[in-house]
Amino acid sequence: MSHNQNNQNSSVTETGLKIPVIDLSLAESGRYLSEPENITDSLLELLGESNDLSSLVIVKLERDRGKQLQFEDPKLAEQIYLNQLDKVDFGDNIKRGIIFSSGKSVYFGNKELIDNIREQFFKTQPDHCCRYGSLLVSSCLQGAVLFDSSKDNSPIKLKIVDSQSNNPKEREAAADFFTGDCHGKISPHLAEEVGAKSKRPFQFRMAWMTGWNQNETKNSTPKTSFLAKGTFLPNRTLTEARGYDIILDRSSIKGIAKDKLSELIPCGDYQLPKMALGNRANAELQKYDNSWQFSIWFSKSAIASDLVPATKAEAQRLAQIQSNPLKLNRYIVEQHDKKASFIQTDDDAVSVEGSEDEREAKESRLVSLLRQDNKGLLTGYPKLVEFQRSQLRKIWLNLAIKGALHHDSAMAQPCDNLKPGTIVAPHLENGTEVIVTRYPIVSKDNIRRYTVDNHQPAAQSLLNYRSCVFIRSDQAMQHHQCDFDGDQLIVTPTSRFPQISQEIRRANEPSEYPSVVKREKTNYGKPKYTNLKQIAAAIKQNSIGYVATLIGRVQSSSNPYQKQSRREKFESAKVKLLGKLFDALQIEVDSPKSAARYQDRHGDIIARTKNWVENFPSPLFDYKKDERVYKTSCLPTSTDNNIDCIAERAVNPQWSRTRIKSLELDRFSFLFDEPNDKQDLKYWEQVCLPKAEEIKQRYRDRSREIHQANKDDPERKKQEFAQLYEDLRAIVDEEFPNAEERMLAASAMWKLETNNKSLKNHIAECKKLACRLNSTIELVKEHRFNSSLEPQNTWVVSVPFVRRDNSHNNSDVVNNSKNNSYRPLAAEFKAYLDKQGASYEATVNSDLPLIDFALIDPQPELIKNLQAKLGNNDNDRFVWQEHNLTTYKGDTVPLQIVPPKDYTWVEMNEENLAKGSLILNLFAAEICQRLEEYQFTSFKLIGAKHNDYSQVDFSDKRLQNKEFEFVVGKYNNPNDYRHGQPMVQLKSKDLAMFEPQSPRLPVGSTFTASIEQSKGALILHVKPESVRLPESELQKQGKKTTKAQQKRLKRKFYLDTPSQLPMDKEVNGNTQAKKKRNFCLNIEIPKSTAETEREPEPNRTLTQPTIKQLLSQDASIVLHQSIKSQHQKTGENQLKIDSKGEWTATIRGHNCKVCDRHKKIVFQSNLATDKIDKPLSEANAERFFKMCEQETKKESLNPQKSNRIKRKNKQEQLSI
């Protein structure tokens, strides 16, 4: 079998349900990923207790299957896409069919699972297994519980009502319980069991199976199994006081044919002996970024008044930050945390900005490194510089498109007794005017103004609830296409957008645009789709983002006409076209649950819209996806376009290209040292280095294959590299299972990655080849300038890097050594152009060692002279040759085009240069640990003889061991390529620069050190505690600390034995990605009132009664801070609290939950707000401290290493 199944089976573990994954993007018949998918806290996991799930396999659809034929033969392309699941090879003899699907993941299983799950929940409407299958695997982050009355003979008392029924009596009964579309009530006691917060609604998932019947009468349980979703509001009066646990609105039930629902599940009272219930998310007040979807509907003057000032201030801040690597690191981390803290509860909400789910894991690793690098040790590391640049581009672009203001939001809840045009929002002051809408915004009529009326009679019973907003269900649907299954409504005070709000109509006012009606959902089936495999593929296919962008393009297009009649005709045609697009978008928004597509009703809409866009272009939409925007040039704007004024007035004037520089990888070799211990050194040399070489070679070979196979498909290339890294991580996890071995392996890989000797060879070879090339001139049509997004015809002069210099007296040479001197030919030509006053862009040629000078509006006389000198030259015979380099190991590699180091004025294509990605992807956690532990002990400086202290003899005995105060300033010489680099200064005078391979400090740092002279260099022996980074870099990353947090003191304390708690040190180290990681704890204990004046005396052990005072509240803070610290370092979402796995922490978003072996929740907190939702009990607090003590004892024992080499050698023999 080509894709190697490795005997993978689904299994229920203490960390969730692990399911093997086949990815169809990796091969036509798919290929198993090395890591299973981990489904945690889901209904499926609870159902696994009574079903054998071992045959489950997830198949990931290939989004672009058949795409290459979409223009040549669109019908064939569609069939190739729809039929891709027919080719899946599971690699075993088990016959599988579709159980259900969720997004692009299709779940296959054997006949037993088809009978026990698909046929149970979706028998009456088979296509619902693809439309609502996600309900089975939604992660219920706050808690998922299987309630079983067999233990206490207390069944769940359920009442089913129907607020959406055609029967007036059923609607009346529902009104008595104040339910709504997908909204019900729950007893506070039951809500607490699934992690609900007091007085807050929550989004739920629920399952009932007929197989759970236990000899009950026929009428006491529903006749059919069902799944349900929606929101529950805890309410004792409507539940417990009336003899119920749950009031479920029948609109929440999914998977059953609509015409069979009332027959199979009549409204009434039921008693469930078992029930699976999950809490997906508690209601939270959240912030939404502003979006062009909102801004496009308002006038230029309103946008300029409300959005431009705040955006300009943020752009100015960003301009100051981007030149400071450490400040930029902190800013990127803040932006990442802001994004990560967002909880998506709206099942129907769709991002039209594009999904980046596949990049999130990679970004999380790189963000962890930036977060931990508060000493600037990795400043200039090529891969991190590339990441910083890409993040900067996104941040600038978001500012230009969205602006700097945000919207507030809350979970929508129904209350039909409210006055029309009002809402109840307990978190807002009574009388506040608010803007209400919901993404995606189909038209301007989805944006309305309401008044907060918290004093009206119907509001009095609602004011105790938190993090939600109550709205009439008719207005929610009419204006916002909103139901109550977790939809998040934007509710923003008009005071934040004072001018824009004047252009927004109030609720119930007439519509400004053609009305959009939410259509009845249509079933997937024949003749369009012939089987479940096609349906599963089709559901993932939609054009939401495409149609939404077309609406943006049309609405933001400027009216070019001056004559009034022509202007009116333009506006009328625009409104008519928008009406069609509104309807098309609503159809697409419903596509995950409905088979209808916009083509079914508006077949010609795309052609008509494209024609409009060509005649009336909008720069924002033409260029917002161009990778050059805010990387090399600004977003183009149009003075007549309303949405463009944010970029035009606030962002573009502040933007400039970032000058963050990449450094050679060998400058970072100092971070990891070779082991000192003889046993470790032997293991490192005999096991770690060879395995690192093997992994690196495998990476090189596979990288070359990926680049060659996917030259024209960047998305596929990213997928292939993601899989490569995953495969290599699996090898590392298997070869180096514990923390010490992984750290030694990381050290070995770091040595290989930062051994960049070959770069010098590439530079030398480029010089040799350059001497054989000619200078040429050519008129290039549609040349792409870096500073302009529009291609232009221009003259390009290509000049070799250097020319061999035969003059022995010429001082202006590159690499002026015996028999090897070069004239800087390109630099000389640059000086010639500067003297002529010519404008140009200088870039490194991608194929040959040439500098391409693209001339900008050159004078005819200059072109005439250059043509006369260079017009007959060419380099054709070199263009078609392969240029390679032989390494010191004898390997042949493609030549990298690298200019001389002092050519800092040239724009270089760094795409093919080594970036050090491999080590960051395989050992991010180990690097983070090293960054945290690293202490500056010495610096090596060079070039002292060329600076202010050139006459001082630092070997003088009088200077030995004498300490001086040093400052890191900037080297100031605009004519030198090192201009602006860190320069160590003594008493405000230049001493020397950091040697390339030495650790270094950022500009503005200070430290104390003594000086030792060594072979022309200076060694500074540093007092580690004296190092001070610039004040701005020392600020704590993330949120500002509150006064209460500032009162916390970091201090050591002791348990019954003198064993000190382990401080920030891993026990079992890093295991395979998606596996749980073990760690010991970084203890931060707040002084309680009882402890304030009572510090433990030296050499005294605290007795148990003293420990009691630290239990519960303080222990909870210790646990929370420790988990938060480890999560930030590693980016891992599964963490073992102790090596035995007694407790496990799971992080989803920023919600943290600690469970014991029996999956009982013992602790809950929020890592973003530092709020502890469920503290440790007294018993669990004491148990927690005992765990810490046991782990400390283990750490105090010297690890036995004698058998490691032997064991590894044995593994090698077995693998051979």
Cα–Cα–Cα angle for 749, 334, 362, rounded to 5 degrees: 35
pLDDT at position 220 is: 87
Task: Please provide the average confidence, as pLDDT, over all residues in the chain.
Answer: 84
Q: How many Cα atoms within 13 Å fall on the side-chain side of residue 526?
A: 2
CATH code, residues 143-282:
2.40.40
Token reading at 187:
């007893």
pLDDT score recorded for residue 1052: 28
- Residue 1061 pLDDT level (bands cut at 50, 70, 90): very low
> Is it true that the peptide bond before 527 is cis, omega within 30 degrees of 0?
yes
- In this prediction, residue 340 carries a pLDDT of 74
Q: Using 50, 70 and 90 to split pLDDT, how confident is the model at 1072?
A: very low
pLDDT computed for residue 359 by the predictor: 52
pLDDT at 219: 56
C-alpha to C-alpha distance for 1131 and 362, rounded to whole angstroms: 10
Count CB neighbours of 400 within 10 A: 27
Render 612-635 in DSSP notation, one character per residue. Answer: HHHHS--HHHHHTT-TTBTTTBPP
Single-letter amino acid code for the residue at 156: I
- pLDDT-derived band at 345 (thresholds 50, 70, 90) equals low
Q: Residues of the chain with pLDDT > 90: what percent? A: 52
Residue with tokens 């000078």, as numbered in its chain? 853
pLDDT level of residue 222 (50, 70, 90 thresholds): very high
Model confidence over 46-72: pLDDT tens digits?
988 767 899 999 999 998 888 888 778
Distance CA 274, CA 151 (A): 11
For the stretch 490-545, pLDDT in tens is 999 999 999 999 999 999 999 998 887 777 778 887 777 889 999 999 888 888 88
- Rounded average pLDDT over 986-1006: 92
Q: What is the pTM of this model?
A: 0.80
Instruction: Please give the average per-residue pLDDT across 451-476, as a whole number.
Output: 96
pLDDT for residue 22: 94
Q: Which residue has the higher pLDDT, 1187 or 453?
A: 453
**Domain range annotation of the chain:** 11-137, 143-282, 665-756, 772-912, 937-1026, 1043-1196
Give the pLDDT confidence of 136-147 residue by residue, as tens digits. 999 998 999 999
Residue 484: predicted pLDDT:
95
DSSP labels for 1100-1123?
A: -PPPHHHHHTTTTHHHHHHHHHHH
Confidence (pLDDT) at 656: 86
Query: Degrees (nearest 5) of the Cα angle 609, 612, 614?
Result: 110
pLDDT band per the 50, 70, 90 thresholds, residue 10: low
pLDDT value of residue 351: 55
CA 578 to chain centroid, in Å, comes to 33
**pLDDT tens track for 766-776:** 999 999 999 99
pLDDT in tens, 767-814: 999 999 999 999 999 898 888 888 899 999 999 999 987 765 544 444
The pLDDT of residue 717 is above 80: yes
Between CA 849 and CA 801 the distance in angstroms is 6
Q: pLDDT tens digit string along 1166-1205?
A: 887 778 888 888 778 878 877 877 665 555 544 444 444 4
CA distances (Å), origin 205, targets 182, 222, 1214? 11, 17, 48
- pLDDT of residue 473 exceeding 90, the answer is yes
Give the model's confidence band at 965: pLDDT under 50 very low, under 70 low, under 90 confident, else very high.
Answer: very high
pLDDT for the residue 808: 52
| Comparison of pLDDT for 1214 and 168, the residue scoring more | 168
Contact by Cβ (8 Å): 494, 449: yes
Strand partners, 583: none
Q: Which of 1000, 1004, 1001, 983 is closest to 992 using CA atoms?
A: 983
Helix 1113-1130 to helix 1178-1196 angle (10° resolution) is 50
SS3 label, residue 599: helix
- Rounded distance between C-alpha atoms, residue 385 and residue 396, angstroms: 16
User: pLDDT digit string (tens) for 936-947?
Assistant: 999 999 999 999
Who wins on pLDDT, 396 or 559? 396
- Find all residues with CB under 8 Å of 866, minimum gap 6, and list them: 777, 795, 797
pLDDT, mean of residues 109-124: 94
pLDDT of 1104 strictly over 70: no
Q: What is the pLDDT of residue 774?
A: 95
| First-to-final CA distance of the chain | 20
Helix, strand, coil percent values for the chain (each to nearest 5): 35, 20, 45
DSSP conformation letters of 334-388: HHHHHHHT-----TT---SS---HHHHHHHHHHHHHHHH-TT-TTTT-HHHHHHH
- Band of the pLDDT at 1212, cuts 50, 70, 90? very low
Does 736 score more than 90 pLDDT?
Answer: yes
In this structure, are residues 703 and 722 in contact, taking their beta carbons and an 8 Å threshold? no
Mean pLDDT of 707-715: 78
Q: Which has the closest alpha carbon to 26: 34, 36, 37, 17?
A: 34
| pLDDT for the residue numbered 314 | 94
What digits encode the pLDDT tens for the residues 1005-1054? 999 999 999 888 999 999 999 999 885 444 444 444 444 333 333 322 22
Which residues are CB-neighbours of 869 under 8 A, at least 6 positions away?
A: none
Alpha carbon of residue 582 to chain centroid: 31
